Amino acid sequence: MIQQLWQQKTPDKLENEGLFHIPNENNQEFYARMEKLSAELSAIQDRSSDLMSFVQKGTPIPNKLRDAADKLTWEKYRFRAEWVPAWYSSEITGRLSAGITLVVDGILPMIFLHGSFMHRKRRMGYDAAETLAHELVHAARTAFPDSVYDEFFPCQIHQAKFRRYAGNIFRKWYLPMMLLGGIAATPVLAAAGCSFWGVTLIAPLIVIAREFQLRRRIRNAADNLRNAGFDPMPVLLRMSDREIFETATMTREQLAAKKASSPRWQQFADCFPIKTEL
């Protein structure tokens, strides 16, 4: 049975493949999810999936690019999600997107990169390997609930500082509109002599303040994890927002107690000890 194939793998092996337990998910629920995922992947492989008319619009991503992206996700988050299907398809990504992750039935992530990456490594400032790795991070968190860090984790893959620091604003389409629209409207209204021109800065300030708050919380959580002996980024990737916020306020003693009382946290400690500098 498909379920038994997943059960033959150790928890560490599943972690390394980007197959994470989500918070409050027991083993029975986890393996039931793995069984559904396996069935979807098998159907695509043997071409019996009802998604084939959709899949056939794309060209499979070559192993060389997959390997480069896997190296990035391993270095940052300690996983290689080789099971995630990925194709080139400009028709599906559209002209303005470098890559997208589509999720079927909340189970199966499917990655599509813009077709121009078939012929060159960069497009509109985006690197092909970084873009694929970015989408693989999204894919690994498929089962997690919506998060205020939906773009934070994928954007940490990129070398560009702007994407690492500002990318999370683009998790919702209206946030950059509030930020940039408010900033752009302010000088126009001021030049027109409108007495309420300063009101347009309220929305940008709210967006910026919220992002600073979110960054402070995840930075505090990372610091606390590091002080308790964890390599923070792989652990944070495998957390829900609630866990991140709670970890941001924990002491080293509280985290040690958490590790001692929770199999999931013990696995974090075993799989992701703090990196030591040589």
- 66 & 196 share domain: no
For residue 61, tell me if it sits in a domain.
Answer: yes
What is the count of structural domains for the chain?
2
Is 225's pLDDT higher than 70? yes
d(CA 141, CA 226): 22
Residue 158: inside a domain, yes or no?
A: no
Residues 236 and 108 in one domain: no
Query: Do 128 and 190 have their domain in common?
Result: no
- 9 plus 116 within the same structural domain: yes
Per-residue confidence at 184, pLDDT binned at 50, 70, 90? confident
SS (H, E, C) 27-71: HHHHHHHHHHHHHHHHHHHCCCCCCHHHHCCCEECCHHHHHHHHH
Same domain, 34 and 112: yes
Average per-residue pLDDT for the chain:
91
Range of the domain at 257: 168-278
pLDDT for 236 equals: 98
22 belongs to a structural domain: yes
Q: Is residue 152 part of a domain?
A: no
Query: Which of 75, 109, 144 is the last residue in one of the domains?
Result: 144
137 in the same domain as 194: no
* Residue 217: pLDDT over 90: yes
Residue 160 pLDDT level (bands cut at 50, 70, 90)? very high
Q: Could you tell me if 131 and 174 lie in one domain?
A: no
Tell me, what's the pLDDT at 3?
A: 46
Domain presence at residue 59: yes
pLDDT on residue 202: 92
Inform me whether the pLDDT recorded for 276 exceeds 80: no
pLDDT mean over 178-196: 83
Of the listed ranges 24-28, 154-158, 217-221, the one predicted with least confidence: 24-28
- Statement to judge: residues 118 and 203 lie in one domain: no
Q: Mean pLDDT over residues 218-224, rounded?
A: 98
pLDDT per position as a tens digit, 109-131: 999 999 999 999 999 889 999 99
Instruction: Tell whether 41 and 130 lie within a shared domain.
Output: yes
In a domain, 150, yes or no: no
Q: Is the pLDDT of residue 172 over 60?
A: yes
DSSP string, 180-221: HHHHHHHHHHHHTT-TTGGGGGHHHHHHHHHHHHHHHHHHHH
Provide the b/e sequence for 131-165 (b: ≥16 CB within 10 Å): bbbbbbbbbbbbbbeebbbbbbbbbbbbeeeebee
Residue 153 lies in a domain: no
Question: Is the per-residue pLDDT at 53 higher than 70?
Answer: yes
Whether residue 134 sits in one domain with residue 1: yes
Is it the case that residue 136 has pLDDT exceeding 80? yes
- Same domain for 130 and 1: yes
At residue 188, the pLDDT reads: 80
Across 62-66, 191-195, 207-211, 268-272, least confident range: 191-195
Last residue within a domain, chosen from 111, 144, 177: 144
